[in-house]
Structure 1
């Protein structure tokens, strides 16, 4: 009965195909073997058509081409209709040639592949690839080009200077290469290729993205190393399945940390992850093409009822691998009409392609776009842009640190200095460290020599501490007795204002150890408060902004007058009328004395001196502000400047030039690590910063430290976060 039902569905789909389209759909093939498989698929489809339809309708025909690039041109010119492409070519076909992606391949581990560097047993490691012979799947392909080059650039193993085409840089980096498809952009990248040469395009297979080039695609790149032509092959992990068990021990993977690993360790030893192959067509035939793919999969896919007649994801009968589709494909996912290319391929991957010049611009041609979250930060950023002697700086406006993370992820901004909690979020979002703020007394160059005077590295980076501050005149306010009080918090997700306080016993009447969601704890314990970025009772003490910084109350940026360390202190003393104040402020200690002075200097509140405030200790004591080392809420890791991986070197160079400019002109009116002139504190960088330390060689977890990282992970595992929800939209697993 199930067989009959399945056949009925197939016949209905194919009948719809017949009535929707008056001619055959043309699949573009790039080799004789692929052409034969396509022809067999066409016969198999015709065989399951209703008898009446067979004579008048053939669902598929096959068009022979000499490369995938030629296929894209044929489809665009209405001389073919459909082809499966590497994700890099899918992007090119959609963005540059107006085609549409209609389906994606899904493998046993989801919709993505890992890029791996395969070598025969040798002494090579990923840091010593310069001068070696390289084998690549195809130019601008995911596993063979974009991911490995993005990795090499992010680690600064490969240097991309101004005004140099990336292909030229790659040519200089490797001793010789085979990069199928590179003839048009850099013929020297074809030196190792072995396809037949001809002046006639349809007879030429040399360095073409076609099976007639022996070193084409992942299988070909592996063949390149196996034959001894190349030293390293950049391929996708699915190709490793084709290596026989007896040959497995002859090969190894190069890992990011400089070690080598067996082929089975590709999940932990790889150069990055990106989308798998996709199927493209013209917009005017996308509906009928989707129906064709659905019918073919239903009949001949892994669970197809007609698999004894034909197998869609098996190329062995035709003498080679990965014809029409990858042989490891588990299924095809048909895409909806409204899917943007960034939704199909992923924001990280699209940003990587742009960074590598897929938009026909070089990495260094664009400016550095710094993310600002308020009028005050915008003003400081614009002064920064006017005072540096380096590449241009553009100041991009966002509404919060979380919004900066999203904008950097979306390629709408490039970098921002993030507090420790937001750095945790950014790391989960795929962003990486560039530099870390250093709060020590002096900054010492990493090495002697003029060219390294601003390159600073430290084994230990001083942390800050969070503190709970009260007015000395406010009695009976202690840890354990904060229930029903009014609270002031720096801002949503701030380490001192949001993450650390809830760990401690705020109120004996409220068991805040029963939940790991700080927002729930604060709503239960405090009567009302100001936690910028929150809502409800935790916004009722907030004031909003005035003048050019006018904003709604409780905005998650400096436009809210009670935002940040300075804002939490203002909140504690209240506004000029003596209203809108809190009983306890959770903030960072580092600029507390300066902010107290600023209360008077700015005219916010007269008469407040350091002696007018006290610290709440978690053991129930109250101490003077000078006792912060023994009376605090815990350590806070330093701020981290984070960006997309491919931009680490560019952002680092820009920051070092900025730091060098400031060091060479200390009397200048602009200071990168001072904010008082703009009426706030900690704008763009913390005011406690002495210099920026090189940390792009470290991962964000290492910089944050295991204690802080685990605390953040525990909290966010049970706290709803819009930004983490956005970050977790993974194209590798959502299908």
Structure 2
């Protein structure tokens, strides 16, 4: 009884707030079955709600349309008010037609779906051999039926896409024939397999339309296309798999990204990615009453609705169809707050994917690549790079740190950056993918195709080392308490990750090895860890002139940043002040960097003999013995980007590599930084070439040992960039 009273109270409150409207809501239906369900919902609302409430906001009429695209037009033109769309269509409705999203469908696992590729169990296809096959898709620009599969194929460089053509043309040429409902105006081949009725009368033509009158429409239709033998592969979302008859499940398999096949039950590990589910759209001027209508309908007929016996909002079988008005697997509707941005509703990764696929009408945003630069020196080098490859537009975008670069790539403000191992690990956790890896071996091996494209089965690391002045005779591992430290930068593999593995001080037992900042703050008196805070910033200097910056900035503008910066920190500034006792850095180019201390005017008289390495066994060694006296291996830097851009970034880098190799006297060298006053700008100076690794997972490149250590650290060390990336649109509603 109390529940009934509370429902009535809420409805009366809704009534009081919008009595002046008295508007009839018009739902857009795309088939006879959907029209029938809509009509039953209208009757049910009249039957269970008080007459005054019905008059105020719960009168429902049903408007017939021939497709979801027709619904979008009707809503824009004030001929209908509401429709549920796939997330890809939601994006188009908002960005191109000025509509707004008022609710999201929430499923058993949250607000997102997994894209899966389904084939018959006797199929010889795998994800690398789809070219020339016949494909069935749930809908054009749909999350699981279009965007996520194409994003995966592009990320692995499996789908050729010329810069001057729309993605639909590339897909049409890639598959032998397809049924992509909604692609009627894209390319004829994308509709070749569809079975809907053809007619010259627009309202009677259902061939290749996003309507239940097209037999191969939606998830069920795409599976029907596959099972009938019309297609070889179906791209659908995982929620459709439960609806397959048990006897037929053994006849179907999932294609996995590693080239294997898996049973349908393995969709959580064998899928093409995750994206947002469906949403309800309307016009801006009626968004408030639309929200209240949806609340009333769900309170009455949702899974927990008081009147579920009268009508079930998320059930379609009794009307002779599936996924009518809403997907049948919907658990509830999440009615959205006012004025939420698309990236908040659909997620940053998904919005960036749609932009990359040209959902806003442009193909690959005019092919400009935006490279992330974290300092004035990097900006200067990047601008010279852009001049050296005039045929490929390169734009240099400023960021404050590597972490800021990762966020900017996620926000689609820049496209690519080369990241050290720790930041590459973070970027991988954030959904970015490898393009190439820096190669530090003796000689680059050209791939079979030649043309400057390099491949390697091994990716040599660099090594972290602890360097001290030879004159500091009392310094060893275990005796570093209350000393001054130099760390390169926050999250640096050699300066931040590796040192904490060693006994820095016997007085401190490294009680928190997964919290490097805490360990270093407790062990050292003070230091310079660019990007840090407190006593770990007191030795830092900041920047001057064009690179002026506050002390401890997490980029080259801080003169004690990076490998060269840690060495400067160890010897002190030109006045002999602000120096450290031990520097944690990478071994490469150490001797040449010592020479540059003199030639750059930073400090005079320093030679290699003036420095020694601290070994983990408590001994010391000359710099030349870094192979046996080091902190551990540091995996190579990785160029990372959003998945849809890997082919474009790879193409730019290969052309750049070819250009600089063919013009050695041009004055610009991709892997040299000395002329810009710093070291390791954009890429490490020790890099010999860039090796193709877009086919590899970032964890494979970094190795299990490093990934395990990074995982352990970030399990108990707060990271703002990881917190930003973990704002999961799939679970926050």
The two structures have a TM-score, normalised by structure 1, of 0.98
Distance 1:97 1:523 in 2: 55
Q: Distance in 2 between matches of 1:56 and 1:128?
A: 57
Cα 1:98/1:54, change in 2 over 3 Å: closer
Shift of 1:51: 4.0
User: Does 2:223 match 1:225?
Assistant: no
Question: What corresponds to 1:645 in structure 2?
Answer: 643
The match for 2:700 is: 702
Residue of structure 1 in register with 2:676 after alignment? 678
Contact 2:4 2:306 in 1 (8 A): no
2:143 paired with 1:142? yes
Identify if the C-alpha distance between structure 1 residues 206 and 17 changes in structure 2 by more than 3 Å, giving closer, same or farther.
farther
8 Å contact kept, 2:58–2:293: no
Which of 511, 516, 519 lines up with 2:517 in the alignment? 519
Deviation at 1:673, TM superposition (A): 0.4
Kept in 1: contact 2:477–2:503 (CA 8 A):
yes
**Pairwise CA distance, 1:13:** 5.0
The 5-angstrom pairing of residues 55-134 of structure 1 reads 58-121=58-121, 122-134=123-135
Q: 1:21 to 1:337 in 2, by over 3 A?
A: same
Alignment map for 1:108-507 (pairs within 5 Å)? 108-121=108-121, 122-363=123-364, 365-388=366-389, 390-447=391-448, 451-507=449-505
1:723 maps to which residue?
Answer: 721
Q: Secondary structure at the match of 2:464?
A: strand
Q: Is the 8 A contact 1:59 1:292 kept in 2?
A: no
SS at match of 1:115: strand
Contact 2:197–2:206, Cα closer than 8 Å, also in 1: yes
* Structure-2 separation of matches of 1:475 and 1:57: 84
Q: Is the 8 A contact 1:454 1:656 kept in 2?
A: yes
| Offset at residue 626 of structure 1 (A) | 1.0
2:246 is paired with a residue whose SS is coil
Mapped partners of 1:594, 1:278: distance in 2: 59
- Taking the aligned partners of 1:516 and 1:172, their CA distance within structure 2 comes to 51
Q: Which residue of 2 aligns with 1:11?
A: 11
| Greater alpha carbon shift after TM alignment, 54-63 vs 426-435 | 54-63
CA contact (8 A) 1:455 1:693 kept: yes
Hey, what's the Cα distance between the residues in 1 that align with 2:683 and 2:54? 71
How far has the Cα of 1:342 moved from its partner? 0.8
- Is the Cα–Cα contact under 8 Å of residues 572 and 581 in structure 1 kept in the other structure? yes
**Structure 1 counterpart of 2:24:** 24
SS in 1 for 2:422: helix
Secondary structure of the equivalent of 1:729? coil
Quote the offset at 1:147 in angstroms.
0.8
Aligned length: 732
The corresponding residue for 1:590 is: 588
- Aligned pairs (5 A) from 1:595-634: 595-634=593-632
Tell me, yes or no, if the aligned pair for 2:501 and 2:513 is still in contact at 8 Å.
Answer: no
Contact 2:435 2:650 in 1 (8 A): yes
Q: Secondary structure at the match of 2:203?
A: coil
Given that residues 82 and 280 in structure 2 are in contact (C-alpha distance below 8 angstroms), is that contact kept between their aligned partners in structure 1? yes
Q: CA deviation at 1:520?
A: 0.6
Alpha-carbon distance in 2 for matches of 1:210, 1:190:
14
Distance 1:18 1:671, change over 3 A: closer
Separation of aligned partners in 2, 1:434 and 1:640: 7
Q: Per-residue displacement from partner, 1:134-163 (whole Å, max 9, x unpaired)? A: 111111111111111111111111100131
Structure 1 residues not aligned, in runs of 5+: none
Q: Which moved more, 1:601-610 or 1:452-461?
A: 452-461
Is the 1:389–1:657 Cα contact (8 Å) retained in structure 2?
no
Q: Compute the displacement of 1:490 (Å).
A: 0.3
Name the CA distance, whole Å, in 1 between partners of 2:614 and 2:52: 86
**In structure 2, how many angstroms separate the alpha carbons of the residues matched to 1:626 and 1:550?**
35
Measure the CA separation in 1 of the matches of 2:55 and 2:452. 77
Superposed displacement of residue 619, structure 1:
1.4
Equivalent in the alignment of 1:552: 550
Q: Provide the residue aligned with 1:541 in structure 2.
A: 539
Write the deviation string for residues 167-201 of structure 1: whole angstroms up to 9, x where unpaired.
Answer: 11111111111111111222331111111111221
For residues 56 and 368 of structure 2, what CA distance do their matches in structure 1 show? 59
Deviation at 1:5, TM superposition (A): 3.1
Alignment of structure 1 residues 31-46 onto 2, 5 Å: 31-46=31-46
CA contact (8 A) 2:15 2:57 kept: no
- Asked whether the 8 Å contact 2:529–2:536 carries over to 1, the reply is yes
Q: 1:234 to 1:56 in 2, by over 3 A?
A: closer
The answer to which of 601-610 and 501-510 deviates more is 501-510
TM-fit CA distance, 1:453 = 3.2
Matched, 1:49 2:49: yes
Answer with 138-147 or 46-55: which moved more. 46-55
Q: Distance in 1 between matches of 2:346 and 2:32?
A: 30
CA RMSD of aligned residues (A): 1.3
The farther-off stretch of 150-159 and 361-370 is 361-370
Gap change, CA 1:378 and 1:57, over 3 Å in 2? closer
For 1:700-733, what per-residue CA distance to the aligned partner results, in whole angstroms no more than 9, with x for missing partners? 0000000000000000110000000011111112
After superposition, the Cα gap between the structure-2 partners of 1:54 and 1:73, relative to the gap in structure 1 and judged at 3 Å, is closer
Deviations 1:539-598 (A, max 9, x none): 111100000000011000000000000001101111111111111111111011111001
Aligned-pair distance for 1:14?
5.0
Structure 2 contact 512–518 (Cα < 8 Å) conserved:
no
Structure 2 CA distance, aligned partners of 1:415 and 1:71? 38
| Contact 1:144/1:235, CA 8 A, preserved across alignment | yes
Q: Decide whether the 8 Å contact of 2:15 with 2:56 is kept in 1.
A: no
Could you tell which deviates more after superposition, 43-52 or 323-332? 43-52
Which deviates the most, 230-239 or 382-391? 382-391
Residues 463-508 of structure 1 show CA distances to partners (whole Å, capped at 9, x for unaligned) of 0000111111113111111111111110000001111111111111
What does the per-residue CA deviation read over 1:73-118, in whole Å, with 9 as the maximum and x for residues that have no partner?
A: 1111111111100000000011111111111111111111111111
TM-score by length of 2: 0.98
The structure-2 alpha-carbon separation of the partners of 1:57 and 1:437, relative to structure 1 and needing over 3 Å to count, comes to: closer
